[in-house]
Every structure is written in structure tokens, then in C-alpha cells.
Amino acid sequence: MTPAAGPSRSHTATLTDVARLAGVSVATASKALNGRSQVRAETRQRVVEAAERLSFRPNQLARGLLAGRTGTVGLLTSDLEGRFGIPILMGAEDAFGAGEVAVFLCDARGDSIREQHHVRALLGRRVDGLIVVGSRTDPRPSLGRELPVPVVYAYAPSDDPADLSIVPDNVDAGRIAVQHLLTCGRTRIAHITGDPGYLAARDRADGARAALADAGLALVDEPRFGAWSEGWGRAATALLLDRHPDVDAVLCGSDQIARGVMDVLRERGQRVPEDVAVMGFDNWQVLTSGSRPLLTSVDMNLEQVGRAAAQALFGAIAGGAPRSGVETLPCRVVIRGSTAPLS
């Protein structure tokens, strides 16, 4: 057998082949394989066996062409390397994969020209719907209302309220984080967070302030906005301790920041969590599980965001009542060693 002439070259079995082998017409073969009722059991059996023998796989292209539905969706992401897109993508893939939907993955790399290109290509392939995953929770431009298929935005909401967007509830995230710290008996809580240009940073700070206000308290100092990095966590902590040595909890805008904060606390002789409790956001395993002690963090349930987006899209494709607006999903606190009740 020559290298190029394996079974690879043998014409893939088609329904006609199956029908011929089973001694029936293609129509009957089709009905037999699809569980239609107008086929005698014995005939169906023959067809099924023939299909088996030829390892027949119905051509989804032909099927999609006929049905007008392809059973495919496009997943448009702006940054794959960012860590937020992945869990969402997993959740969506999971929700679809359970059914019989296949996912086209496209990375626009944050470039709207590329994005437009991908949208056109996906429409050419007649996807049944689109999920758009952003890298930040700040609103992003809508793909427009003129698309021939439903679209769901995940993580980054569309700026058009007529679109449906699924996002984590960052305000509530800030609130539950503070509530956890209050539950631990902390009252002198500082907030060190990232780039104020990010809505997520502002939302979380707002939620944190609101929860404190509900308890008749306030943040120690204003929230310190900076960068989403360990370095900023370290720098801000040094400043914080100089001005407020009596702080008993630091809520950090990200796990990276929290790592920097914990490093400096340790260097300054503050024990975590005995003297100062520390919390992060994102629940990024590589960071939370490597720190000493393990880091308590707020998980944004991104996988669930992905799943919810997939389900919403599914519903829209099936023709359910169209939803719109920004729907938020709750976050959850994952408690580890860096927070504990004051003893």
C-alpha cells in the first residue's frame, strides 16, 4: 500500500452506499437511521448494520444545508492569553458539547478589524449563533442589531442595551468580600486594587464601600488604585502600613496584588491571618495555592458565566423569548488560610 493510498483515500461512505448495501432506497435508509417511524423493524436493522459496516457518518454539511441550522456557534474572544477568557470558553464548550453543537473558536486579539473579519467568516459558515467574550467587564461596542443570528455577550457587556450580556456581579463581589472580613471580626479594612481604568476595580471598590457603610464603618483610607501586579501590592502595602499600622484586613483587587501584599506584611512582621487578614479576587489557583498561608479569594464563577451564555444562546436559537440587557451572576468567596476570625 502506497503511503498516499490508505483507507484515507477511499471515498467516505455516503448514504447512497449504505442504501445500496442494505438493498433499500436512500429515503428509506435515511428514515431508518433517523428513527422515523415508517420503517419496518427488520428493514431498519438491515440499514443500521450496513451503516455500521461502512462506518457511515452522515454529512453534517448536507444536513445543515437542508435544515437551515448547522448546529455550530461561533465563539469570539478578544484575548485568549488573558486568564478570563479561558474559563468562560470552557463553560460554554461544556454546555454546548453536552448537546450536539460544535464551537468555532476565533481570537480577534483585541482588534476590531479582525473581529469584523471573523464575524463575516462565521456568518458565511452559517453558524446558528455567536458568543462574544471580552477581556474586561467594561462595556464594549455592540456587534450591531443587523446580524442574522442571535448574539450573547459574556464577561464584557455590549454597550447596546438591546443585546443580552452575561457578566459577573463585581459590585456584589466587593460586598461579599467585605462581609466575609466583617464576619471574621475585622473592622479596620483597607482596599488595595488595580488600574482604576477598569470598571471591575471601581465596581469592587463600590461594593466594598457599600458593605462597610451598611455596617456603619468605612475603609481605612481611600481605596488605593494602581496596577494589577504583585509589585503594586508590595508598594501599596508599604505605604499603607506607614500610615495605618493598625489595619487588620486588606482586601486586594486581585490575587496578584494579594501576593505582593502578603509578602510585605510578612517582611514587616505582621502575621497573616492573625494580625492582618488578606483576600484576593479571581481565585487564580496558581496564586492562591502557592502562598503562605493559602489565599482566600473571590471566585467570579467564570465557568458558569460561560455556561449561562451558552444556555442563553441556545434558548435564543431555539426561538425562545428574546432576553436583553445585562444579566449578572453572583460570585462566591473561597475561604482559605489567609482569613480567619480574630481570636
Partner DNA sequence: AAACATGCCGAAAAGGCTTTCAGCAAGCTA
Partner DNA sequence: TAGCTTGCTGAAAGCCTTTTCGGCATGTTT
Question: What residues make contact with its own copies under the rule CB under 8 A?
Answer: 3-4, 6-8, 10, 12, 57-62, 64-65, 70, 72, 75, 80-81, 83, 86-87, 89-90, 93-94, 97, 100, 102-107, 114, 118, 120-126, 145-150, 229-231, 234, 256, 259-260, 263, 284, 286-287, 289-292, 319, 322
Q: Which stretch binds DNA (CB under 7 A): 34-42, 139-147, 148-156, 258-266?
A: 34-42
Shortest spacing between CB 109 and DNA, in angstroms: 28
Shortest spacing between CB 114 and DNA, in angstroms: 23
258 Cα distance to chain centroid? 23
- How far is it, in rounded angstroms, from Cα 73 to Cα 317? 10
Q: Which stretch binds DNA (CB under 7 A): 29-37, 172-180, 249-257, 289-297?
A: 29-37
Residue 36 interacts with which of DNA, its own copies, none, CB < 5 to 8 Å by class: DNA
Residue 235 interacts with which of DNA, its own copies, none, CB < 5 to 8 Å by class: none
Shortest spacing between CB 242 and its own copies, in angstroms: 19
Whether 192 and 252 have beta carbons less than 8 Å apart is answered as yes
The 3-state DSSP class for residue 191 equals strand
Q: In sequence order, what are the residues at sequence separation of 6 or more whose Cβ sits closer than 8 angstroms to the Cβ of residue 309?
A: 88, 91, 92, 131, 133, 152, 153, 154, 166
The position carrying cell 440499514 is: 47
User: How do 296-299 and 332-334 pair as beta strands?
Assistant: antiparallel
Residue 231 interacts with which of DNA, its own copies, none, CB < 5 to 8 Å by class: its own copies
Left if phi > 0, otherwise alpha if psi is -120 to 50, otherwise beta: which for 55? left
* Residue closest to 231 by CA, chosen among 270, 259, 212: 259
Burial 87-99 (b: 16+ CB within 10 A, else e): bbbebbbebbeee
Task: Please give the angle made by the CA atoms of 64, 104 and 149, to the nearest 5 degrees.
Answer: 60
116 binds DNA (CB under 7 A): no
Q: What are phi and psi of 145, to 5 degrees?
A: -95, -5
- Site size toward DNA (CB under 7 A) is 33
Q: Which is nearer to its own copies, 272 or 287 (CB)?
A: 287
Residue 26 interacts with which of DNA, its own copies, none, CB < 5 to 8 Å by class: DNA
305 binds DNA (CB under 7 A): no
Q: Which is nearer to its own copies, 57 or 244 (CB)?
A: 57
Q: Which is nearer to its own copies, 60 or 187 (CB)?
A: 60
Shortest spacing between CB 309 and its own copies, in angstroms: 15
Q: Which is nearer to DNA, 6 or 124 (CB)?
A: 124
- How far is it, in rounded angstroms, from Cα 51 to Cα 57? 8
Q: Which is nearer to DNA, 57 or 120 (CB)?
A: 57
Please count the CA atoms within 13 angstroms of the CA of 286 that sit on its side-chain side. 2
Task: Please give the angle made by the CA atoms of 72, 75 and 78, to the nearest 5 degrees.
Answer: 165
Shortest spacing between CB 80 and its own copies, in angstroms: 5
Site residues, DNA (CB under 7 A): 11-12, 14-16, 23-28, 30-31, 33-34, 36-40, 42-44, 56-59, 62-63, 65-68
